Amino acid sequence: MVDVTFADEVTVILPSGAPFHAAPHEAEFVAELSRKYTTEFAFQSSSDLSDLDRVILFETLIHRWGRWLARRVDDTGLPIDERTVGERIGSTSSELRQLKKLLGIDKVAREKAKGEGSVPHYLANLLERAKAFGINRERQLDKALELANQLSSLVTLYRNCNDDERRNLHVTQADLIDWVETVFVPEFEAIDAHFRTHAQKFWVRDL
């Protein structure tokens, strides 16, 4: 939430509800930090929100001092002591890292939240497995259509032939049954067997 109070000053409401008076060029930076942290993380206590306010203030100061170093002057246009400003950035950055670690919003905590056993990891695996299962079903359907067309052709040939022709062309009833048992069923089942052996076995291992 950003509320302009003066022509040259903007009041930004921090996550705890506390106001922060910022120059116009910093207000958007502060507001975006507040939005990002409160959207990506859930804070349960008022003390956590107060600590989050400090995180945002520290990041704003580092942003401000970094801009000063780049320009070699402060926001009023006066020259800065670059060494002193650099030291401020270093000490504040150190405090910021500790505070983020305390709140569980540092890089290590974020990576851990996305890692093994986390909800994002579970959902990503679930989506990947659903996709693999769908691909397997499509392969089964393709093979079933291919084999069904072959069987249909063999049955048509059987119907259009007399007994001698059926024996010569190997389309007797016994031949058809043998084809189903030795070709149709094995080729169709091979697809699912390959899926269970090369993909699904890893799913079972994860359970």
Considering the domain architecture, whether residues 32 and 15 belong to the same structural domain is answered as yes
Query: Is 107 in the same domain as 173?
Result: no
What would the pLDDT profile of 103-146 be if each residue is shown by its tens digit? 888 655 555 555 555 556 666 666 776 676 677 677 787 888 88
pLDDT over 70 at 5, yes or no: no
The domain in which residue 167 lies consists of: 119-206
Residues 149 and 176 in one domain: yes
What is the tally of structural domains in the chain?
Answer: 2
Q: Of 114, 131, 146, which residue is a domain's last?
A: 114
> pLDDT digit string (tens) for 26-55?
888 999 988 888 888 777 678 888 889 999
The residue from 96, 114, 132 where one domain ends is 114
The pLDDT > 90 percentage for the chain reads: 31
* Side chain identity at residue 72, one-letter code: R
Residues 155-199: tens digit of each pLDDT: 999 999 999 999 999 999 999 999 999 998 888 888 777 666 655
Residues 98 and 135 in one domain: no
Among 114, 142, 159, the domain-final residue is 114
3-state secondary structure 40-105: HCCCCCHHHHHHHHHHHHHHHHHHHHHHHHHHCECCCCCECCHHHHHHHHHHHHHHHHHHHHHHCC
